[in-house]
Amino acid sequence: MRIFCLFMLIISTITPSIAATLAQQTQRIISLSPHTTEMAYAAGLGNKLIAVSAYSDYPPAAEKLERVANYRGLKMERILALKPDLILAWQGGNPSRELARLEQLGIKILYSNPKTLADIPKTLERLGQYADSPQIAQQAAAEFRHQLQQLQLTNHNKPKVRYFYQLGSTPLMTVADSGWPSQIFQFCGGDNIFANSSVAYPQVNQEQVIFRQPQVIFSAQPIADTQQLWAQWQHQLVAVKQQHIYQLNTNWLNRPTPRTLLAIKQVCTLFDQVRGDH
Can you tell me whether residue 202 is helix, strand or coil?
Answer: coil
Cα 193 from Cα 208, distance rounded (Å): 9
- The 3 state secondary structure assigned to 78-115 is HHHHHCCCEEEEECCCCCHHHHHHHHHCCCCEEEECCC
User: Which residues contact residue 120 at a Cβ distance below 8 angstroms, ignoring those fewer than 6 apart?
Assistant: 114, 144, 256, 257, 258, 260
CB-CB contact of 176 with 202 (8 Å): yes
Cα 207 from Cα 195, distance rounded (Å): 17
* Total Cβ atoms within 10 A of residue 181: 24
Cα 94 from Cα 13, distance rounded (Å): 37
Cα-only R_g, the chain: 22
User: Which residues contact residue 138 at a Cβ distance below 8 angstroms, ignoring those fewer than 6 apart?
Assistant: 125, 128
Binding residues: 55
116 vs 122, 206, 218, CA distance in Å? 10, 29, 20
Binding residues for cyanocob(III)alamin: 55
Cα 38 from Cα 58, distance rounded (Å): 6
Q: Is the peptide bond before 171 cis (omega within 30 degrees of 0)?
A: yes
Cα 99 from Cα 222, distance rounded (Å): 34
